[in-house]
Amino acid sequence: MTREEFEKLVEEEFPRAVPEKFHHLLHNVDFLVEDEPDARTRAEHGLKDDETLLGLYRGVPHTARGDMYGVGATLPDSITLYQKPIEDEAAHAGDVRMVIRETIWHEVAHHFGFDEDQVEDRERRGI
């Protein structure tokens, strides 16, 4: 799949991944697509050669933002989706749209302050 086709799927799946009532809370967030995690990201997350990431949230979660957040220059948070790992996962799961949707939801949950255990718990329970 080309990058353009993949980005179009990300755009189409975002509204399905994040309920509309939360869209207004996603300001100052860039959505990015990269092929796969680079060496620095792999090292930061302690990934072994046979491990990867489907997505990554970088920023200040809503729950950690104080009254002074956004005063002055504030870099945007970012949510990166990694195309090759997502496509590889979809080859096993059978649906690239589903993997994109679940990855968006997972990373947006981190943006809203959920830690990895909380996100995984909600995923297990289908919330």
Bridge-partner residues for 74, per DSSP? Answer: none
67 located within any domain: no
Compute the distance between CA of residue 118 and CA of residue 124 in angstroms, rounded to an integer: 10
pLDDT tens digits along 19-43: 888 888 887 889 999 999 999 999 9
65 located within any domain: no
pLDDT of residue 2 exceeding 80, the answer is yes
30 located within any domain: yes
66 located within any domain: no
Bridge-partner residues for 58, per DSSP? Answer: 78
**Per the structure, how many domains does the chain have?**
1
Note whether 30 and 78 are within 8 A (CB).
yes
* Strands 29-34, 77-82: pairing kind: parallel
Instruction: Copy the structure tokens of residue 74.
Output: 């504030």
pLDDT value at position 127? Answer: 62
pLDDT of residue 53 exceeding 70, the answer is yes
The identity of residue 123, as a single letter, is: E
Which CATH number covers residue 52?
3.30.2010.20
Collapse the DSSP code of 78 into the 3-class scheme (helix H, G, I; strand E, B; otherwise coil) and give the result. Answer: strand
17 located within any domain: yes
Is the pTM for the entire model greater than 0.85? yes
Boundaries of domain holding 105: 3-60+76-125
pLDDT tens digits along 69-121: 767 777 788 999 999 999 999 998 889 999 999 999 999 998 888 888 888 88
The identity of residue 7, as a single letter, is: E
